[in-house]
Amino acid sequence: MNFTVFEQSDGPGGVWHDNHYPGCEVDVPIFRYSNTFTNYSWTENYASQKELECYCESIIDQFSLSKHLQFNSKVEQIAWDESWAKYQVRLADGRSEYFSVVVSAVGLLSNPKVPDWPGLDEFRGPKFHSARWEHEHDLSGKTVAVVGTGSSGTQVVGTLAPSVGQLLVFQREPGWIWPKKKRSLTPEEPKTLRAIRLCEVVASDEGVLAKPPL
């Protein structure tokens, strides 16, 4: 099958490539956030952003996908061309190609929403969105404000707090959080859990509802 994946970022991983803020990691147990058909051996029960990126790379290697991937390729327009009976996919850099089938997998969270608060433009210190973290700023000892306490905000706050001078957290609404109980996996756990998940697939095929343990 001939297929091409166009990706506007410069690497694979989607949100796990673009988000690299301090403390960035998955919020659900990793065995609920990974494919059953891969051989990847996770090291922790909640994978870090770095490990999730490695996981994506391993899938690319396992299925020899590199030749199909085009990075720095933003799709700007897709139009049905009646004369060719195909879709014309136009990229931001001017290239265009024809395809019989187009699958949109653009995600919901790949474009960060930057607020337009009055005065933000005049603020002279570093200011950036968690989804585009600027690692060149040394925040140790500085007074830092974090706005928002969703998943990203919560992870950033917990990771920054020990190193900054003062951390101010601005929250519009309180949310529920509880300890993740993050820990390293033993070398046996990935194998055992993979076996359990394979059993689950067989059980589902037979119409038996089987749920793996958390």
Ligand X SMILES: Cc1cc2nc3c(=O)[nH]c(=O)nc-3n(C[C@H](O)[C@H](O)[C@H](O)COP(=O)(O)OP(=O)(O)OC[C@H]3O[C@@H](n4cnc5c(N)ncnc54)[C@H](O)[C@@H]3O)c2cc1C
- In the complex with ligand X, the residue whose CB is nearer, 141 or 212, is 212
- Binders of ligand X among 99-118, rule CB under 6 A? 105-107, 109-110
Pairing of strands 69-70, 5-6: parallel
CB of 52 to ligand X, least distance (A): 9
Distances (CA, A) of 42 to 31, 54, 158, 179, 186: 9, 10, 23, 20, 10
Q: How far is the CB of 84 from ligand X (least distance, A)?
A: 21
- For ligand X, the closer CB: 115 or 119: 115
Residues 6 or more apart whose CB falls under 8 angstroms from that of 66 comprise 60
Question: Which one of residues 74, 135, 137, 182 is an interface residue with ligand X (CB under 6 A)?
Answer: 74
**Residue 11 interacting with ligand X (CB under 6 A):** no
Total residue count of the chain as it appears in this document: 214
Determine contact, residues 18/132, Cβ cutoff 8 Å: yes
Q: Which residues of 3-31 are buried (b: 16+ CB within 10 A; e: fewer)?
A: eeebbbeeebbbebbbbbbbbbbbeebbb
Q: Looking at 75, 167, 169, 185, which residue binds ligand X (CB under 6 A)?
A: 75
Single out the residue of 26, 89, 160, 193 in contact with ligand X (rule: CB under 6 A). 26
Stretch of residues binding ligand X (CB under 6 A), selected from 8-16, 114-122, 169-177, 199-207: 8-16
Q: How many residues bind ligand X (CB under 6 A)?
A: 21
Site string for ligand X, 33-72 (x = CB under 6 A): x---------------------------------------
Per the CB < 8 A criterion, the answer to whether 90 and 78 are in contact is: yes
Residue 137's closest CA among 118, 122, 124, 153? 124
Whole-number Å distance between alpha carbons of 99 and 4: 9
Q: Is the dihedral of CA 50, 22, 27, 131 positive or negative?
A: negative
Task: State in angstroms the smallest separation of the CB of 109 from ligand X.
Answer: 4
Site string for ligand X, 155-194 (x = CB under 6 A): ----------------------------------------
**Which residues of the shown chain bind ligand X in the complex (CB under 6 A)?**
6-9, 14-15, 19, 24, 26-28, 33, 74-75, 105-107, 109-110, 151-152
